[in-house]
Chains A and B, each alone.
Chain A
Amino acid sequence: GNSVTQMEGPVTLSEEAFLTINCTYTATGYPSLFWYVQYPGEGLQLLLKATKADDKGSNKGFEATYRKETTSFHLEKGSVQVSDSAVYFCALRRDGGTSYGKLTFGQGTILTVHP
């Protein structure tokens, strides 16, 4: 079956530090890959996505590249801000057949950024 594995958290960084949150997946075929962000007390928001191998998703300074050879979709940001403190979820979606567009999520990684 499909699965997503994220690096264990929590991750604590100082402002302006470099961020990497690792994400690897297991799936047949060519899933679409996503990063969602959940700010305290809120629902999930789509941060970025990639739908095919070697695609790079980017938004708000965050980037992730779809690497089929390593089945990875690591999230990176060059300089984090306090406002980036949130829970980050990696997810995949297999379309077609009986998948009905269901998302499979990783466990989530808590990021805390200190001033």
Chain B
Amino acid sequence: SQTIHQWPATLVQPVGSPLSLECTVEGTSNPNLYWYRQAAGRGLQLLFYSVGIGQISSEVPQNLSASRPQDRQFILSSKKLLLSDSGFYLCAWSSLGQGDYGYTFGSGTRLTVV
């Protein structure tokens, strides 16, 4: 069965520090991968998506970047965090070719920038 792992679960980082959040998927190949952010009291915003290794598309201009060094690994990074980067970050995967019309989400990382 397919599983998705996301870590860490919570993170408190000072302003100006770097960030690395990791997401891995098991049990599937060539998934579409996504990073979403949920700011406090707001809905979900798509940050990045990837349809293959090394292929990253950014949906909104921001202080963050994403990378996909392996087929089932998706990393969200920042060189210098801002206060506005605080939020709940969710990784997700989908595989259109298998007839699944939805996403599977990770359990999320709650990031607080102080």
Report A's interface with B, CB cutoff 8 A.
32, 34, 36, 42-46, 49, 51, 89, 93, 95, 100-108
B24 at the interface (CB under 8 A from A): no
Stretch at the interface among B43-51, B60-68, B78-86: B43-51
Q: Is there an interface contact between B105 and A43, defined as CB atoms closer than 8 Å?
A: yes
Q: Is there an interface contact between B46 and A103, defined as CB atoms closer than 8 Å?
A: yes
Distance of A45 Cα from B92 Cα, bound (Å): 11
B49 to chain A minimum Cβ distance, whole angstroms, is: 6
Report B's interface with A, CB cutoff 8 A.
6, 32, 34, 42-44, 46, 49, 51, 57, 59, 90, 92, 94, 96, 101-108
Distance of A89 Cα from B38 Cα, bound (Å): 12
Q: Is there an interface contact between B106 and A43, defined as CB atoms closer than 8 Å?
A: yes
Name the B residues within 8 Å of A89 (CB-CB): 43-44
